[in-house]
Structure 1
Amino acid sequence: MTASPAERLDISFSLESGDWETAAADVERLTDAAARAAFEAAEKPEILGGDTPVEMSLVLADDALVQTLNRDYRDKDKPTNVLSFALLDDLDDTDESTDDVLARDEGMPILIGDVILAFETVQREALEQGKSFEDHLTHLVIHGVLHLLGYDHQSDPDADRMERLETSILARLGIADPYSANPARSAAAEGETGADGATTLQPI
């Protein structure tokens, strides 16, 4: 029996720092569900086709850790809401690294990267935008996972595509469109203060 996309995703969950468990009830279940919903709905790179098992990590951290990573890997010495360390962005059929991935032992998962969130920034943004902490966290997890799968918002068409998919996934989870009447939208799309980051560098 063929596994669904969500069933073949293995998520390594890590609670590093921050008061996540107080701010959100059953935060591991909530973030796991968000990540699986994003993985199931997204168009995936060809390398992840079929029944290929896939693995990612989801790290709940604080502003201090995320600021350090943002400074070391993106030259931005400030915290941000979510960082995505994507491992597949630069792979193609002629890339030796693709051969390395495909040469893994049979049955072993393909690592797609890490999604790391900063507690204080996520909490502050939820308050500023009048959203529940859980809804905002769910959105950011979805956003981060889509980055791991090759989505970005560097151009207006790409941003529109990514936002439409995020909105569709959130609607299935009973969460309202986070971009409607949101003054922070344009800043987030352009990578300004409080917006996410995505990088193809190896994760920590």
Structure 2
Amino acid sequence: MKPELQLSLQFADARHRGALARHRVARFVRAALETSGRIAVRIVDEDEGRTLNREYRGKDYATNVLTFDYEHEPEVVADLVLCAPVVEREAAEQGVTLEAHYAHLLVHGTLHAQGWDHEDDGEAEAMEARETELLAALGFADPYARG
């Protein structure tokens, strides 16, 4: 049985609104959910992405995805913030579609929201393996196989 998902999808930067249909975003997030959850996905511009990354992580640049997890039990409660210009740039650099990169980052962020991390080599290896497995089930190539 698939976990129940309450999804809020917000576009502060609407450039990819057409590429991020609600049902697709829900499919990507749900694929990584191990339990029910309430997740807000917010697509932002570079200014907002940089401000949030600076305020919450002390890093003065816009990053691809930020995860703010508030609860893990009995359900996941989290915000995922994706920076549209960074996602677009990275997809082009990696030679993947915008959809494939968003799918990867939504799976990645959803795993973070459940306590997965990649701070050390062992954690990184386990998280990357899980992402690869989930993305394959969604029909996407291994995002870490590119050289």
Whether TM exceeds 0.5 here: the answer is: yes
The answer on whether the counterparts of 2:94 and 2:146 sit within 8 Å (CA) in structure 1 is no
Dislocated runs of 4+, deviation >4 Å: none
Equivalent position to 2:104, from 131, 139, 142: 139
- Partners of 1:88 and 1:154 lie apart in 2 by 20
TM-score by length of 2: 0.91
The 5-angstrom pairing of residues 1-204 of structure 1 reads: 4-6=1-3, 8-22=4-18, 24=19, 26-39=20-33, 42=34, 53-88=36-71, 110=75, 112-182=77-147
Look up the equivalent residue of 2:21 and give its one-letter code: V
For 1:145, what is the secondary structure of its paired residue? helix
The answer on whether the counterparts of 2:76 and 2:113 sit within 8 Å (CA) in structure 1 is no
Q: Percent identity?
A: 37
Displacement of 1:171 in angstroms is 0.5
Greater C-alpha radius of gyration: 1
- Partners of 2:76 and 2:58 lie apart in 1 by 25
- Partners of 2:13 and 2:62 lie apart in 1 by 14
- Partners of 1:152 and 1:71 lie apart in 2 by 20
Of structures 1 and 2, the one scoring higher in RCO (CA 8 A, sep 6+) is 1
Displacement of 1:111 in angstroms is 5.2
- Partners of 1:38 and 1:112 lie apart in 2 by 14
For 2:129, what is the secondary structure of its paired residue? helix
Unaligned runs of 5+ in 2: none
- Partners of 2:143 and 2:5 lie apart in 1 by 26
Q: CA RMSD in A?
A: 1.8
Look up the equivalent residue of 1:77 and give its one-letter code: D
- Partners of 1:27 and 1:20 lie apart in 2 by 9
Deviations 1:48-98 (A, max 9, x none): 5xxxx5311111111111111011111111100000001137xxxxxxxxx
Structure holding more strand per residue: 2
Aligned residues: 147
Unaligned runs of 5+ in 1: 43-47, 90-100, 103-109, 183-204
